[in-house]
Structure 1
Amino acid sequence: MEDPALLRRFHAWLQPVPSPQDTIRLAFFQDALIVLDTNVLLSLYEYTAESREEVLTALGQVSGRLWMPYQVGLEFVRGRRSVLESRKRVLADASKSVNAKLTAARNAIIEAKDTVRAQLQKYARVPAEIDALQQLVSEAAVDEHLALYRDAFKVHLDMLKNGYDLTPVNVDSADPILPRIADLYGDRVGLQPDDQLLQQRLDEAVVFRFPNRIPPGFKDFDKGTPLKAAGDFLIWEEVIEQAALLPEGSRRVLFVSNDVKEDWYDTSNGKQRPWPAMLDEMHRRAGAELRLETPPDFYAGVGEYLNAALADNTYEEIRRVSETFTPVLDDGTVVTVRTAGDLAPPGDLPVIAYRSAGLTSSAVRSTMEALDSVFRLAQWWLIGVTAQLERREVTEGEPRVDIVAAVRGSDAPAPDWKPGTVLPSGEWIHRESSWIAPWFLDLLASAPPADRGVLSALASEQAAANRLPTG
């Protein structure tokens, strides 16, 4: 007997959360069309040579079922150099950060010694002990002690810089990975959509799907141009089109991606699962089943079901790269409150903004140097506000930032924003007609008085330039 209409119509929403232990998972590894997202292919440029070779060998086990959307191919070919440039920049930034922290530690030790010496001079008047302290904690002695750590850190960072086999020059002259990928796919690469079809898809994404938060890709709505914003949706449309061409009865698509944002996964019930709307759309439009997996799960599945097991340290490297995946910024990106947490600021741009704003405290500087995504909103705001208020020159290729810490107007821009009256009158102007973002209040709370004043002044000036209508 056929299931009732309610159960049929909403089948995708009634399924359990997928897991690597699903009994139906085997079928996807045996005969599904396998689509690797752009970020999975670009990850090959982040692996060590040994791990990369193992991964390419494992992909060879499923080569005949690999299929590449045209959009993935375009993003892959154009994005290879950016991955290597990002690695080079991150390691250079790490060296600068280590040197800055060691210099700060040196200065702090000298200042601590001076504090103790001042107290000895004031209250004890013991010149012999003062001289002994001066010799024990002389600048030369501190430099000698810190040199041990400086040298050890340098050895490790130099190993990472010099021991990697790929550089941006490799991509320009003789990329060793590109021909391997080309051989894996053969002719199984999508055709470029014509201009009319591309325009139709862009209109659907920007006008209909993104404003209504229909997955996938709606989180990219704020990227610079419709073409950049709709990248994920363009891939999705190609995959559906290709899935419909598969033989009836075996239409399965295994889509592998590092992207686990909320425009691909539903986390509303505390568990992460692919959006049922996507599974339903794939079934309605192509008559196909869909499964999403991250690279760690996918390569584990290749090992389990296809006897292409990887070494333990290779699995660990795949997991590390996947978990730290951050989209590569391009010069068309617009960073907003919604996207800031997913985008790491390039280079030492947060520290440049920190200096240009006139900030001085180590607490705020630590926030600007932090790698944790929870600090990115504050980092991007400072980058944006110092550019907006012309406190510094905008660097080449720097993304535009559309984030405000406060606004003026009669209505709060969001329910969690606080009225200006939460801050003292001497610290915040227009208290009765302004609203402050909660994350900015947290930033102020962590800053010492001098920097609180600087941050408040920046936010207040920005608010005046972004005044909301009253009434």
Structure 2
Amino acid sequence: MVSPEGEYPLIRQYRDWIQNGPSEKDPDRADFFTDGIVVLDTNVLLSLYEYTPTAREQVLKALQSVRQRLWLPHQVGLEFVQNRFRIITGRKKALDDAQRSLQNKLRDAKTSIKDARAFTQGLLIKYAQDTETSRNLDVEISNKAIEELLSGWSATLEAQVKRLREYDISISPGGQGDPVLSQVAALFGDKVAVPPDAAETRRRVEEASSYRFPNLIPPGFKDAGKGTSLASSGDFLLWEETIGYMANSPERSHLLFVSNDTKEDWYQPKGEGRSASRPWPSLASELRQRTGAELRIETPGDFYRGVNRFLDAEIAEATYAEIDRAAVSTVEMVVTEQSATCTQPPPDLIAAAFDAAGLDESLVDNIDDGSSRLIFIWWLIGVTAQLERRPRLDDEPDVSLAPATRSAVKPDPDWVPGLRLHLGEWPYRSSSWIAPWFAESVNRSSRRERKILQGLAAQQLAFELADQG
């Protein structure tokens, strides 16, 4: 039987799977911009920290055109305030490390030129017995000439890296000095969801971990096993919260969800005649079934171009380039002492770090406190990567954890003097402060393990002191 609209029930019911996915030429696309509820994923808000001030101003002005239809789920708001400091710390660390990295590359360049000279001299002597030309190369391409050749370029590069400090954002953990936080708060106004009931959150987490994720039902199933069940259920909690909001009012007929996340738990991989991935059709079907609303998922670049097209927001081409670049940004969130205590490291990363340090994973059994144990593991992951004891793994986060510092003032009431470490094994006993979690791990280790751990910490401290000098 054909439906009144002239469409077979089979085609109507499974149309999300039959269609190829959203296109900028879809005739109903404008409806999502002019009449839809707009939900920005956490990564879209965090990307604001990665734009230049000019681009950020343009993007925030463009968002004003959809302000009346914006809604901030509790899950997005929570993740935004939890992760903003880590993003800023990662940005600051990248800028802090830039000067040292540049110096290392320039030093490598000088070494490479000298090696090339020595290589050529060796060939001249071995195959031509031409000692005179070999000696002349020492004069023509002298160490002084190499220094003079690179000095101008070095100065130019160093000036540009130093100029990047203008784009740093330095804030306190409380949010003072953070322009993005206040701008985002003003943008959403009172359209911020209240936290869901604790019992409902628990029910949703159990549904995700026991039913949806094992059956690869989007969204979020790729996060299964990452940290606690609550932490790995973030995408599903956002999804459920949004469905509840859409269902509460019949006039909410269109949902425009904007996200950088195009992993396989949001997007169906290309194949079956499709040349590109597409948002999972089951997401649109589920939203329609449970709320009666239509769903459109767009990346930030497509979304802002749509805002420009349908709402006449002015965004420069250079800003679009920043938006697209931020979507695949390599600036990583940084694991700090606060975040380390609630983030379980992946097993392969733990194994790689302990193997690189020459330690057995059973070492952590000596650390009684669970939070200290996690901080220690994350530090070992970070320091083995920082000191290039091992290659970084794919998607490995940066780590900002200091086991020791040298200063006249105690950095924190819980830190202990360097004298608490063993004589003859720690070079800064009389002039350092030691983090309590590191002191515990060292003093409960064997002599061999202590020497390894203190050696890594001493190298890390020397490395950072050299940067400051």
> TM-score of the superposition, structure 1-length normalised?
0.70
SS of 2:261's partner is: coil
Equivalent in the alignment of 1:92: 96
Cα distance, 1:305 vs structure 2: 0.6
SS of 1:292's partner is: strand
Alignment partners' CA distance in 1, 2:269 and 2:22: 13
Do residues 259 (structure 1) and 261 (structure 2) align? yes
Alignment partners' CA distance in 1, 2:402 and 2:241: 30
Alignment of 1:280-319 (within 5 A): 280-319=285-324
SS of 2:39's partner is: strand
Within the candidate set 9, 21, 24, 1:17 is matched to 21
Calculate the aligned-residue CA RMSD, in Å: 3.0
Aligned length: 361
Cα distance, 1:353 vs structure 2: 6.8
Alignment partners' CA distance in 2, 1:192 and 1:176: 25
Alignment partners' CA distance in 2, 1:293 and 1:109: 49
Do residues 322 (structure 1) and 317 (structure 2) align? no
CA contact (8 A) 1:89 1:347 kept: no
> TM-score of the superposition, structure 2-length normalised?
0.70
Within the candidate set 110, 114, 117, 2:114 is matched to 110
Amino acid at match of 1:145: L
Cα distance, 1:299 vs structure 2: 0.9
Do residues 79 (structure 1) and 90 (structure 2) align? no
Residues 308-361 of structure 1: per-residue CA shift (max 9 Å, x gap): 1212211221121113266635531534789xxxxxx9999597377436xxxx
CA contact (8 A) 1:49 1:165 kept: no
SS of 1:290's partner is: strand
Alignment partners' CA distance in 1, 2:94 and 2:106: 18
Alignment of 1:156-195 (within 5 A): 156-160=160-164, 162-164=165-167, 166-169=169-172, 172-195=175-198
Equivalent in the alignment of 1:26: 30
Equivalent in the alignment of 1:334: 345
Equivalent in the alignment of 1:356: 389
Cα distance, 1:214 vs structure 2: 0.8
Alignment partners' CA distance in 1, 2:228 and 2:149: 53
Quote the sequence identity (%). Answer: 40
Long gaps (5+) in structure 2: 350-377, 404-469
Alignment partners' CA distance in 2, 1:202 and 1:67: 23
Alignment partners' CA distance in 1, 2:98 and 2:202: 43
Alignment of 1:71-470 (within 5 A): 71-122=75-126, 124=128, 126-160=130-164, 162-164=165-167, 166-169=169-172, 172-248=175-251, 250-269=252-271, 270-324=275-329, 328=333, 330=335, 331=340, 332-335=343-346, 349=382, 352=385, 355-356=388-389, 368=391, 376-377=393-394, 396=401
SS of 1:172's partner is: coil
Cα distance, 1:112 vs structure 2: 2.4
Alignment partners' CA distance in 1, 2:290 and 2:348: 34
Cα distance, 1:123 vs structure 2: 5.3
CA contact (8 A) 1:93 1:348 kept: no
Alignment partners' CA distance in 1, 2:400 and 2:68: 45
CA contact (8 A) 1:85 1:168 kept: no
Residues 9-59 of structure 1: per-residue CA shift (max 9 Å, x gap): 312211232111211100000110000011111111111111111111111
CA contact (8 A) 1:18 1:273 kept: yes
Change (3 A) 1:14 1:355: closer
